[in-house]
Amino acid sequence: MDKTELRARCVTARSRMPSAERAAAGRALRDALLELPQVQMAGTIAAYYSVGTEPDTHGLIYALWKRGTYVLLPILLRDGDLDWASYEGPDSLLPGPHGLREPGEPPRGTDAVRRADVVLVPALAVDVTGNRLGRGGGSYDRTLARVAPTIPAIALLYDDELLPSIPAAPHDRPVTAVARPSHGITPLPSPPTTVPSPP
């Protein structure tokens, strides 16, 4: 199955999920992430404000902010890249493109994500090696390319969205873990490193 077909299948499955089930999934993800030691120790977390049928992140972002974590949220730029600005409570969000809600604080630049201790990313599905299926715009591939491999990059999914394999292109950037409502946090294998052959 190619990415376009797989993406359509995932979007359809999410649209059929009852709203109460989506809400419960969001609460379970919030609780699992708030208990994760890397999240508890993080001074700065780059997250995203969920829209539509995405696993809900609103309660998670509010809880992080209330306990003193510096939360960065994305601002979608015209070229599809992501700028970042601080979340300062629900009233600090403004309408953005494509139905998004974006922070109204001053932008910090596309490289602000480099200062995050944890990065939370949206995904329609992820495979067991960390390959991520997004919406197709490439925004988070560019973002993840700026993030050091030692920084946890966690995709938020529903339970059946961790797949055996997803087609990957050379520019695709893997995540290091997934969060699912009934399974909590699942670390994923690091991509293999190429060891130079001896001369």
Instruction: Return the pLDDT at 68.
Output: 96
15-42 pLDDT, tens digit per residue, is 999 999 999 999 999 999 999 999 999 9
How far apart, in whole angstroms, are the C-alpha atoms of residue 148 and residue 17? Answer: 35
Question: Would you state the pLDDT for residue 98?
Answer: 80
Rounded mean pLDDT of the chain?
92
DSSP codes, the chain: --HHHHHHHHHHHHHTS-HHHHHHHHHHHHHHHHH-HHHHH-SEEE-----TTSPP-HHHHHHHHHTT-EEEEEEE-TTS-EEEEE---GGGEEE-GGG-EEE-SPP--GGGGGG-SEEEEE-SEEETT--EE--SS-HHHHHHHTS-TTS-EEEE--GGGEES-----TT----SEEEETTTEEEE-PPPPPPPPPP-
Query: Tens digit of pLDDT for each residue in 128-165?
Result: 999 999 987 889 999 999 999 999 999 999 999 999 99
pLDDT at 198 over 90: no
pLDDT at 196 over 50: no
- Which residue segments constitute the domains of the chain, with CATH numbers given? 3-184 (3.40.50.10420)
More confident residue, 62 or 98: 62
pLDDT of residue 70 exceeding 50, the answer is: yes
pLDDT for residue 100: 86
pTM of the model: 0.91
What pLDDT does 194 receive?
A: 43
Q: What is the pLDDT of residue 185?
A: 97
State the pLDDT confidence band at 191, using cuts at 50, 70 and 90. Answer: low
* 84 has a pLDDT exceeding 80: yes
